Structure 1
Amino acid sequence: MHGKGGTVRTVLLDDRGYVPLLKLYLARSGYTAGPMFRASINGSGGPLSYDAAHHRWNGYCTAAGCNIDIHQLRHAHATELINSGVSIEVVRRRLGHASAETTQLYALLADDVADTEIRAARRRRDRAGR
């Protein structure tokens, strides 16, 4: 997958449920190589543009009766990773950010996650002081 500036990104599909869905998609589409999600309107079969993905996303949201911007998926993904204990550096690389400061703007650490981390740090400090 290509990101901003033509950087190559790898998308991790680590949920076993994705594999059968991916196989079904590939079988139905007949794709054996090249971009996975392709433009179909112009018939060229080239990579799906951001505008085309945005248009499709808006259609899905309308059908589902919700109003969520496609970019909010990045924010939600970053927040989920951070709240699951993934380091800010790993999330930074995943999102393709040059600096961790940018990533921190995306990720909202849940209060209960922060409290748990603080308690764990205090327990480690207390054990080390014995």
Structure 2
Amino acid sequence: MEGPLTAVSSDAGSRLRGSRCADCAVATYPADPACPRCGGPAEPVVLSGTGTLWTWTVQRYAPKSPPYVPPGAGFAPFTVGYVELAQGVRVLAVLDIRPEDAEIGMPMTIATGDGVPRATGAAV
């Protein structure tokens, strides 16, 4: 199902970029030069492109604009959720799945989108 934002490309350039603490190994998204846990220096890292759906909901009202730009046909509700990556990071993403197909714990693929991360159900 195509959501209200442009679909992501599947090339390697669409992977999420975060950071990992050089001292305690905590990963974050989006990237931050300092660790939120210990304050140590963090280094850029490319995050996993797969994870599991941690939780989800349906966005039933138009987000504030900018950055949201409603499509020409007007606003349509869409699914959003947190995808937990192997690094332990939970990333908020637009889910390109129907709400009735969303299931907590389901495998997901995630990549950058048009201003926001995008996730789809992954083949098992």
Query: TM-score normalized by structure 1?
Result: 0.23
Q: Which has the higher contact order (CA 8 A, sep 6+)?
A: 2
TM-score scaled to structure 2, two decimals? 0.24
| Structure label with greater radius of gyration | 1
**Which structure shows the higher strand fraction?**
2
